[in-house]
Amino acid sequence: MIRNVLSIAGSDPSGGAGIQADLKAFSARGVYGMAVLTALTAQNTQGVSGVHLVPPQFVADQINAVFADVRVDAVKIGMIANAGIADAVAGALTDRRDIPIVIDPVMIAKGGAALLAPEAVDVLTRRLLPLATLLTPNLPEAAALLHQPVATNRADMAAQAERLRALGPAAVLVKGGHLDGDESPDVLATAAGLHWFEARRVPTKNTHGTGCTLSSALAAELAKGASAREAVAIAKDYLAGAVAAAARLTVGSGHGPVQHFHALWKDGE
């Protein structure tokens, strides 16, 4: 049975992040993708120049319309933008905790633009994090959620992962891509303890949408029945291939997208 996975996120017209990246990752991982829009952005590989928000009630209406008709096997939540939308998403999903929910706390765009209003952090923490099967912050996002300095080493990463899990998520994956050095380790905190995933840093500027892509791949694997640890291993391997193949694309002049279909497309076809 092909699984159905819903993304609740913003749109990236350049196709590298947001809903567009989510749907590509879903397809690449063999699940049927659906999308609820929370925001329209004006952006490209060089940055975000504008954001137009969807009214919170209409975000909830979209979610309810999908659930009223379609079996949903997992949900990925990305950009929620403000407190009203966070409230609407939480309200629509509160009674649907029997399916995996992956939350990628999108707070700052690759170019530095703020994608989450400060007052929304409290709603995200109080209402959405307890719904999460898996939370996937990078180092600046983990620090912002905890109101702490950004982690600069593995010990700080592990401590912040455990503090975030204490806020309600069943599991937390703190991503170490912002660490200095050639390594890019991630740490997964679950009820069973901590598990580290090691990776070498890929020397490329084409990393637009990596967080969206990873969290969507995680949702796809959870929908197929993988445990959190199994899903992270599979999704990280998929993302590593997508980043390594990013140079095969010629999209924009800034931070280009990853190659979501690296295992399916051949050069020139």
pLDDT at 8: 98
Write the DSSP string, 151-216: P-SHHHHHHHHHHHHTTS-S-EEEE-TTSSSSB--EEEEETTEEEEE--BPP--S--BTHHHHHHH
Mean pLDDT of the chain: 92
pLDDT at 110: 61
pLDDT at 13: 96
pLDDT at 109: 63
DSSP state of 245: T
The pLDDT tens digits for 2-37 are 999 999 999 999 999 999 999 999 999 999 999 999
Measured CA to CA, the distance from residue 106 to residue 137 in angstroms comes to 8
pLDDT at 182: 76
Higher pLDDT, 49 or 67: 67
What is the bridge-based pairing of β-strands 101-103 and 193-197?
A: unpaired
163 has a pLDDT exceeding 80: yes
pLDDT at 183: 78
Measured CA to CA, the distance from residue 72 to residue 74 in angstroms comes to 6
179 has a pLDDT exceeding 70: yes
pLDDT at 114: 66
Dihedral pair phi/psi, residue 14, rounded to 5°: -80, -5
pLDDT at 111: 58
267 has a pLDDT exceeding 80: no
Confidence of residue 85 (pLDDT cuts 50, 70, 90): very high
Is residue 188 within 8 A of residue 228, CB to CB? The reply is yes
pLDDT at 181: 73
108 has a pLDDT exceeding 90: no
Looking at residues 62-86, what average pLDDT do you find?
Answer: 96
Please give the positions annotated as active site: 175, 207, 209-212
Looking at residues 133-140, what average pLDDT do you find?
Answer: 95
269 has a pLDDT exceeding 90: no
